[in-house]
Amino acid sequence: MFSSLHAVWGTLVPSDDAYTIQPDTSGQGINGSSDMIISFWIPSALIAGNNTTVSLAFRYTALSHRLYHKSHGHDLDIFKAQIKNRDHVLVLPSRPMQTPFKQELPLLALPPPPSSDATCECTSYWRGDRWYIKEIIIRLNVTDAAEKASLMGGAKVAMQLVGPCRLRLSIADYVHIVNIPFPVKESDVKVRIARKSSYIEMVTTPYQPWYGGGYPQSLFPILLDPPRPWNVHHIPLEKLPLIELSKDMVEYIVPHMALQHSDRERKIMFDPKYVPRDHLHALKVGVNILVHDYIGFESRGPPFEVFALRPIGSGVQMILLIGGIRSDSAGGTIILDTAVVPITAKNKATVLPLLDPIGESGVLIMSIDIRHGEMGAWKQYLAACIERARTWIHKPGCEYKAAGRAPISLEDGGDSLCTCGNGIGFEGPEWIPPEAPKWQQLLPHATRAGISPIFSVPYLEVVGGEVFKDNGYGRPPPTTSPLNGCWACAKSGVPLSACGRCQRARYCSSECQREHWKDHKWGCQQK
């Protein structure tokens, strides 16, 4: 699948040794008479033979399949032709442009050779209507004579997981780094040693989504030197188009967000008193809250732009300022363009007073209550969302480098993010909203991030299956409460009184407190 496409309305004009594009300037697009010319780079080995087919299709997701499979077939093809069809397909040595100049494809350096002679074999099984990974077998053949003698002589063999998809295998003083295709859990890896035959096998299964707590190291690992995310794709945040929210767009976003959750997670969510079984599920619910509150969906009130992550029984850990929703076409999803302000023991005396002018200007700061211990997962995810979108270079004195890990700490009040990107990338008009000009006081303490929905993968869990078809979008995410406003009428910029029992809920008047008690009493707990 190739998603880096160059598309233009126009006519392809042949010349001596190449083609040029004569663009259609009428602006009629699909209603005009010009062709749509789509070009992309492809390895020549993939187009050998006359039976090769080229197709333009919708990106395959559970939602797009549900919307378009009846009209466009199982593969969601918009247009399809065989490669030998010269009327519709041309194979060229360079991309056609609007000028005679050719666009050459830069050659990438070859990847380094593997650090071991290990081979990997995956077995699978069929259940229901899909394949699942059953077992991963990694075999390391010991070929070095001295190492082989050491193994036959009874040398100690040790295995350690050094990344979600990377194992360190030690035979005495000999070390091998072995890459595997799926994340695994260290306790699930069984080591078989064949000393006489001079090989070692490691047998395991893929990491399962119902394991509590995520991967052994992190839900969203960040590799250092240089820092970069391991399992979220990079995005050119500034180049992604801002989405103008309309009724039609909201009707697309809501089911898109619902498909974050696998059928297993959705079954849990139908219980009104459900508790997420793992931090990843709770994190997905939190991202859903951000999106629903930002777009102002249905009964959630007006669109909100400022959010506080606050663990129950603790203070605010993060402030999130959302500058807009952007379209991530390559990822087939949406991105919340976000300024992340960590609240730590070191900076809270400086940062927290800056929230007061925001409330005085009439802007509510909505509190997302962290109820299930997932604050550490939030810190891991936000660190990855920053790295995926960063355009700046980490400084020599970067806190990640000094700590040897990213994020730095998952503890309450601890520093989790480095400060290398503070205040960078906030020059656009979306960061100076007219209704909240006081935002700019917080931006020097903020780092820009691209937050996106977190989708389950179909080779581990069923997504968009019978539970989704039978029960629709499910329950909406939990509601938020104003951090700086009345919990009943949402009025801000006025003196507020705290609930005498829990000391969390705040009201502008006794009338508002009485009116809100029927909703608040279920969550009100003695402090």
Q: How far lies 196's CA from each of 142, 149, 153, in Å?
A: 11, 10, 9
Name the percent of the chain in helix, strand, coil, to the closest 5. 25, 25, 50
Among 139-148, 456-465, 510-519, the range scoring the smallest mean pLDDT is: 456-465
Q: Can you give the pTM of this predicted structure?
A: 0.71
Tokens 């000094």 belong to: 402
Give a three-class secondary structure readout of 66-87: HHHHHHHCCCCEEEEEECCCCC
Residue 337, CB-side half-sphere exposure with 13 Å CA sphere: 21
Can you tell me which residue has the tokens 């650090």? Answer: 115
Token couple for 371: 């109820």
What number is the average pLDDT over the span 508-526? Answer: 74
Q: Please report where in the chains the tokens 């995520």 appear, as a residue.
A: 214
Kindly indicate whether the domain formed by 118-204 is annotated with CATH number 1.10.1740.
no
Distances (CA, A) of 467 to 266, 270, 346, 473: 7, 10, 46, 10
**What residues does each domain of the chain span?**
6-82, 118-204, 222-484, 494-527
Tokens 């619910």, located at residue? 285
Does 311 sit behind a cis peptide bond, omega within 30 degrees of 0 on the bond before it? no
pLDDT computed for residue 493 by the predictor: 63
Distance between CA 222 and CA 310 in Å, rounded?
Answer: 24
Q: Is 294 helix (H, G, I), strand (E, B) or coil?
A: helix
Residue-level pLDDT at 212: 47
Q: Please state, in angstroms and rounded to a whole number, the distance separating the CA atoms of residues 163 and 220.
A: 11
Structure tokens at 144: 């070095």
Which two three-digit tokens encode residue 249? 């767009």
Integer angstrom CA distances of residue 104 from 83, 382, 413: 22, 37, 51
Percent over 90 (pLDDT), the chain = 26
Are 480 and 366 contacting, i.e. CB atoms less than 8 angstroms apart? Answer: yes
> Nearest 5 degrees, angle CA 347-CA 337-CA 369?
55
Please state the rounded mean pLDDT for residues 496-507.
74
The answer to whether the Cα torsion of 84, 88, 90, 91 is positive or negative is negative
Q: Is the pLDDT reported for residue 470 higher than 60?
A: no
Band of the pLDDT at 384, cuts 50, 70, 90?
very high
Mean pLDDT along residues 419-446: 84
pLDDT of residue 522: 64
pLDDT classification of 388: cutoffs 50, 70, 90: very high
pLDDT of residue 507: 77
Question: What's the rounded Cα separation, in Å, for the pair 463 and 455?
Answer: 9
Q: What is the pLDDT of residues 1-31, one digit of tens each?
A: 676 788 889 888 887 667 888 888 888 888 8
3-state secondary structure of 477: coil
Q: State how far the Cα of 77 lies from the Cα of 499, in Å rounded to an integer.
A: 58
In angstroms, how far is the first alpha carbon of the chain from the final one? 55
Tell me what pLDDT residue 527 has.
Answer: 55
Q: Which two tokens stand for residue 155?
A: 């040398």
Q: Residue 451 above 90 pLDDT?
A: yes
Cα of 161 vs its chain's centroid, Å: 23
Q: How many CB atoms lie within 10 A of CB 104?
A: 9
pLDDT of residue 481: 67
Phi, psi of 521 (to 5 degrees): -65, -25
